[in-house]
């Protein structure tokens, strides 16, 4: 018997638990992976709170990314065999001892990349790479503002900017986390005590920046949009403003949603700015995903990228892991560890 994380209903920390699970049998075009590590993302917390879509109906198992060993393959699977070390990008359900995955979403790992490192890669690096490179066509002379620079996507974006030779990078975080931002050559901004809009305006001579990554949402997006340069792109990929204290509050969530701007296409047109919404869990072009994941793994192998793993929690301590992320204690990625029996 294995185990799986289950979100029972919308609510607080106690609505997520770990339950026993039987080993599922793969269909003809599925791969079964015995999971070593699964990533946790803020989206999982928002789904638990009932503030994030799309999500499966309750109860369900969350999880967008896993690493482990291929345990079995369906009759139609050609290029994967039992025993291979792999990483997989899931649509959901990854936080379990065993998962069934479409082989198109599975990559074989080189020996030089550990299972722990691999599990910290798909969501954070794919999201950052997709925004900056696939959508943004990032160039070395571009400028970038990264909100939540010490988080999983934030640290991935900082490294991708450094790899691309981008020198004009700003990143917001709480002051105790500024060291990780300066490590990757960016200018830190204290998210609690400094006005990022005023700093960007002053340090770019009123020009603004070319790319802004914003996982906060709500009213924060308005200020981000006003900090864009001509031809700039704003990427929105989260709504952490709906859960600022880690406690489920419909009032706070509704306030954040109410303050989310309704973008006027004519205004965007006249100011030559663009807004992208990004959710890699709903991205369906597997070819593009594969290309990006392969480039990310290449970057790790060559030393350009180094996934930052803040902590690893046993799957049974899922509630503690959720609270840890809610309290914004992590720098980089938080993982769950599974130890499924054969």
Is the distance from CB of 39 to CB of 120 less than 8 angstroms?
yes
DSSP classification of residue 182: H
Taking the alpha carbons of 56, 324, 216, 285 in that order, is the dihedral positive or negative? negative
How far, in Å, are 89, 290, 299 from residue 295 at the CA level?
Answer: 15, 9, 6
Bridging pattern class, strands 143-146 and 187-190: unpaired
CATH number of 124-280: 3.40.50.720
Rounded distance, CA 160 to CA 163, Å?
5
User: What's phi and psi for 144, nearest 5 deg?
Assistant: -140, 135
Whether the ω angle into residue 59 lies within 30 degrees of 0, i.e. cis, is yes
At residue 149's C-alpha, the angle toward residues 114 and 156, to 5°, is 30
Query: Cβ contacts of residue 221 below 8 Å, gap of 6+?
Result: 214, 234, 236, 260, 261
Residue 229: its pLDDT value, please? Answer: 96
Residue 238: its pLDDT value, please? Answer: 74
Bridging pattern class, strands 333-337 and 31-40: antiparallel
Residue 195: its pLDDT value, please? Answer: 96
Residue 341: its pLDDT value, please? Answer: 40
Residue 326: its pLDDT value, please? Answer: 86
How far, in Å, are 165, 195, 246, 341 from residue 154 at the CA level?
Answer: 17, 19, 20, 35
**Could you tell me the two tokens for 10?**
């919308």
Residue 239: its pLDDT value, please? Answer: 64
Residue 340: its pLDDT value, please? Answer: 47
Q: Tell the CATH topology of 2-121+307-337.
A: Quinone Oxidoreductase; Chain A, domain 1 (3.90.180)
Residue 252: its pLDDT value, please? Answer: 59
DSSP conformation letters of 101-123: E-GGGEEEPPTTS-HHHHHTSHH
Length of the chain measured in residues: 342
Residues (pLDDT < 70) of the chain are 239-262, 266, 340-342
How far, in Å, are 39, 116, 134, 139, 166 from residue 5 at the CA level?
Answer: 12, 19, 32, 41, 39
Residue 302: its pLDDT value, please? Answer: 96
Strands (E), 121-214: 143-146, 168-173, 187-190, 209-214
Residue 258: its pLDDT value, please? Answer: 57
Residue whose pair of structure tokens reads 């004009």 in the numeric block: 168
pTM here? Answer: 0.89
Percent of the chain at pLDDT exceeding 70 = 91
Residue 284: its pLDDT value, please? Answer: 87
Residue 42: its pLDDT value, please? Answer: 87
Domain boundaries defined on the chain: 2-121+307-337, 124-280
């Amino acid at each position: 018997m294995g185990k799986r994380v289950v979100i029972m209903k919308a609510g607080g920390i106690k609505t997520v638990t770990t339950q026993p699970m039987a080993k599922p049998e793969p269909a003809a075009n599925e791969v079964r992976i015995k999971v070593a590590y699964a990533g946790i993302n803020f989206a999982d917390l928002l789904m638990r709170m009932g503030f994030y879509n799309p999500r499966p109906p309750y109860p369900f198992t969350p999880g967008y990314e896993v690493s482990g060993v291929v345990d079995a393959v369906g009759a139609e699977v050609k290029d994967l065999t039992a025993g291979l070390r792999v990483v997989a990008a899931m649509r959901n359900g990854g936080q379990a001892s065993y998962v069934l995955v479409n082989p198109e979403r599975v990559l074989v790992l080189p020996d030089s990349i550990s299972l722990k490192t691999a599990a910290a890669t798909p969501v954070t690096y794919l999201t950052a790479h997709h925004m900056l490179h696939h959508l943004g066509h990032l160039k070395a002379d571009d400028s970038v503002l990264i909100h939540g620079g010490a988080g999983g996507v934030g640290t991935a974006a900082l490294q991708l900017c450094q790899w691309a030779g981008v020198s004009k990078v700003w990143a917001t975080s709480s002051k105790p986390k500024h060291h990780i931002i300066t490590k990757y050559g960016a200018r830190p901004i204290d998210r609690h005590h400094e006005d990022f809009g005023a700093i960007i305006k002053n340090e770019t001579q009123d020009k603004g920046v070319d790319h802004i990554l914003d996982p906060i949402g709500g009213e924060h997006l308005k200020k981000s949009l006003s900090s864009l340069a001509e031809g700039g792109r704003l990427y929105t990929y989260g709504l952490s403003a709906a859960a600022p204290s880690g406690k489920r509050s419909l009032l706070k969530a509704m306030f954040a949603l109410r303050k989310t701007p309704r973008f006027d296409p004519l205004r965007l047109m006249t100011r030559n700015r663009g807004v992208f919404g990004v959710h890699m869990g709903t991205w369906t072009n597997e070819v593009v995903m594969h290309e990006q994941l392969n480039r990310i793994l290449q970057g790790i192998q060559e030393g350009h990228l180094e996934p930052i793993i803040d902590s690893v929690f046993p799957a049974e301590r899922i509630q503690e892991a959720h609270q840890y992320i809610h309290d914004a204690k992590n720098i980089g990625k938080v993982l769950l560890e599974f130890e499924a029996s054969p």
